[in-house]
Amino acid sequence: MGQKGQAGQAGQTEQAKQAEQLNRDVGSGRGRARLAGRYKARGFSLGSLLIVILIVGGIVIPAVRAIPSLLEYFSVKRAISYAKQQASNRREVADYFNKQAQIDRITAVRSDDLDIHEDDNGTIRSVGFSYRNEVPLYGPLSLIITYSGTQY
What is the tally of structural domains in the chain?
Answer: 1
Does 95 map to a domain?
A: yes
Tally of CB atoms within 10 A around 68 = 11
Does 15 map to a domain?
A: no
Contacts 24+ apart (CB under 8 A), 143-146: 143/62, 143/65, 143/66, 145/66, 145/69
Does 17 map to a domain?
A: no
Does 32 map to a domain?
A: no
Q: Which domain holds residue 107?
A: 46-151
Residue, of 105 and 31, whose pLDDT is higher: 105
Does 106 map to a domain?
A: yes
Does 9 map to a domain?
A: no
**Structure confidence by residue, pLDDT tens digits, 100-119:** 999 999 999 999 999 999 98
Does 133 map to a domain?
A: yes
Q: Whole-structure pTM over 0.85, yes or no? A: no
Instruction: Tell me what percent of the residues of the chain surpass a pLDDT of 70.
Output: 78
Looking at residue 10, what is its pLDDT? 55
Looking at residue 71, what is its pLDDT? 96
- Paired strand residues for 130: 148
